[in-house]
Amino acid sequence: MAELAGVYAASHGPMIVRSWEKLAPAEKESLTSAFSELGKRMRAARPDVLIVISPDHWVNFFIDNLPAICVGVGEVHEGPPEPWLKAFPHRSLAGHPLLAEHIVRTAIEHDFEPSVSYRLALDHGFCIPLWKTGVDPLPPIVPVVFNDLEPPYPSVRRCFDWGTMLAGAVASYPGNLRVAILATGGLSHSIGEPTMGRIDEAFDRDCIRHFERGDPRALIDFLNERLPGAGNGASEIRNWVAAHGAARGRGFELIRYDPIPGVYVGCGFASWNINQRQG
């Protein structure tokens, strides 16, 4: 049986790469140390496969066909198409079709209807955290795309339930694998809308406290009420909620949070202690 070896979350704002040279020294230090610590924890988990939950930033999908959730089941995924990510060291990334197909089957059995893709391009949402955490060599990736960009979004509750299902799929996979989950995106930010550039630090810190307290119902209620006012980019916290579901709502540990104006994002990094006993 496969084993869940770790659950993690990281912000992925494109300006972390695109505007790196313009960032203040303190901003660079914050991001560098957060990614470094996250990478250390991910390497220590020794994952054979990494499930990465991220939105698609208008790379694979458009408004003519926009899945709520898509699982990348291909043997290979394409590297990031963004011209400013040319330095990312992988033009293609290995997939893990057997685990991906098992996740899809398990999802169907649990009344989810994900779409599938045999050839996804993994944009900055996937690749910035993979790159900056320094996990090398990269294990095979099972990408899971959540629609966090264009309404209608999957509900926060469904995202939590998806995470719970995902952990179950890992546990029931008939192979000897160590599997880690990385959720990317968030926390608050606002892109291309009147509040662009606003970081809602109060929201972010309240949100982090809810993850720390671990009560899924309270977290979901909080997000249902407050997420719509935290900027359109905050919608990506749905991916963190899925990670929280995979960790059974327990063991959240904040690695670092800083509002970073230079990248327009309340940048958060976390891991879940999945060995924490149920209370």
Partner 1 sequence: MRDYWLSKLFFDLQSPPLAEEYRAGRKRVLDRYPLKPEVRAAVESDDVAHLSTLVNPYLLRFYFLMAGMPEEDFLRRIRATAAPVDSSLPNSALRQAAIGSLSGPGPENT
CA distance 192 to 100: 34
Q: How many residues bind partner 1 (CB under 8 A)?
A: 28
Report the DSSP pairing between strands 265-272 and 115-117.
unpaired
* Cα separations in angstroms, 24 against 16, 21, 29: 12, 8, 9
CA distance 257 to 216: 21
Nearest to 10 by CA among 44, 30, 35, 28: 35
Q: Which among 44-52, 61-69, 107-115, 159-167 is the span making contact with partner 1, rule CB under 8 A? A: 61-69
Among residues 108, 171, 196, 218, the one that binds partner 1 under rule CB under 8 A: 196
Residue 126 interacting with partner 1 (CB under 8 A):
no
Shortest approach of partner 1 to residue 12 CB, angstroms? 13
- What is the CB neighbour count within 10 angstroms for residue 164? 18
Residue 195 interacting with partner 1 (CB under 8 A):
yes
Among residues 264, 271, 272, 274, the one that binds partner 1 under rule CB under 8 A: 264
Shortest approach of partner 1 to residue 67 CB, angstroms? 15
What residues numbered 224-243 form the site for partner 1, per CB under 8 A?
232
Shortest approach of partner 1 to residue 223 CB, angstroms? 18
- With a CB cutoff of 8 Å and minimum separation 6, the contacts of 157 are 220
User: Which residues would be at the binding site for partner 1 (CB under 8 A)?
Assistant: 19, 22, 57-59, 62-64, 81, 83, 149-150, 190-200, 232, 259, 261-262, 264
